[in-house]
Amino acid sequence: MEKSFNHRDLEIWQLGMDLVEHIYRVTAEFPDDERFGLISQVRRAAVSVPTNISEGWGRHSQANLANFVRIARGSLCELDTLVELAKRLGFLTEEAWAELNLEMDVIGRKSYAFLRKVEASTVHENRHEYSFVHINPKTLAAISELGP
């Protein structure tokens, strides 16, 4: 029996979830009076990245998947702006800002490559053929151990 793949197997989803965790940790240190302002906006933008990837995957259509990956990429750009603002306001250390920028850059590059792959794919029924390339190597090894 072949293992079915889902959005959790996608490396960009996994990286997006890691980014959300990181964002929640750093925004917990922001001033309390930003709870309904910048904290809320930063967290919402971060959460939007993996949730749009998973929603697109769940639509079972390449066109929908491509559209939702584009939306996730837009949210990543929004998050970049909000993180920059947080740094300028002194809510983020230089180190935290650099770490977040690195994470966002990696997700941005990988999501762009994934989007190009989805858009170029002519495979409609067997979607794991193009998503398989983007599965985290640890996940891939675990799946391989399951056997047929």
Whether the predicted pLDDT of 9 surpasses 70: yes
Residue 64 has pLDDT above 60, yes or no: yes
Q: Does a structural domain hold residue 2?
A: no
Q: Is residue 132 part of a domain?
A: yes
Range of the domain at 38: 7-142
d(CA 111, CA 119): 12
Residue 73 lies in a domain: yes
Q: Which two tokens stand for residue 50?
A: 């993996």
Residues 41-61: pLDDT tens digits?
999 999 999 999 999 999 888
pLDDT in tens, 86-100: 999 999 999 999 999
Residue 147 lies in a domain: no
Inside any domain, residue 38 = yes
pTM for the full predicted model = 0.79
Q: Which residue has the tokens 């990181």?
A: 22
Is 1 a member of any domain? no
Within-domain flag for 148: no
Residue 101, both tokens? 């920028």
Q: What is the CATH number of the domain that holds 47?
A: 1.20.1440.60
Number of compact structural domains in the chain: 1
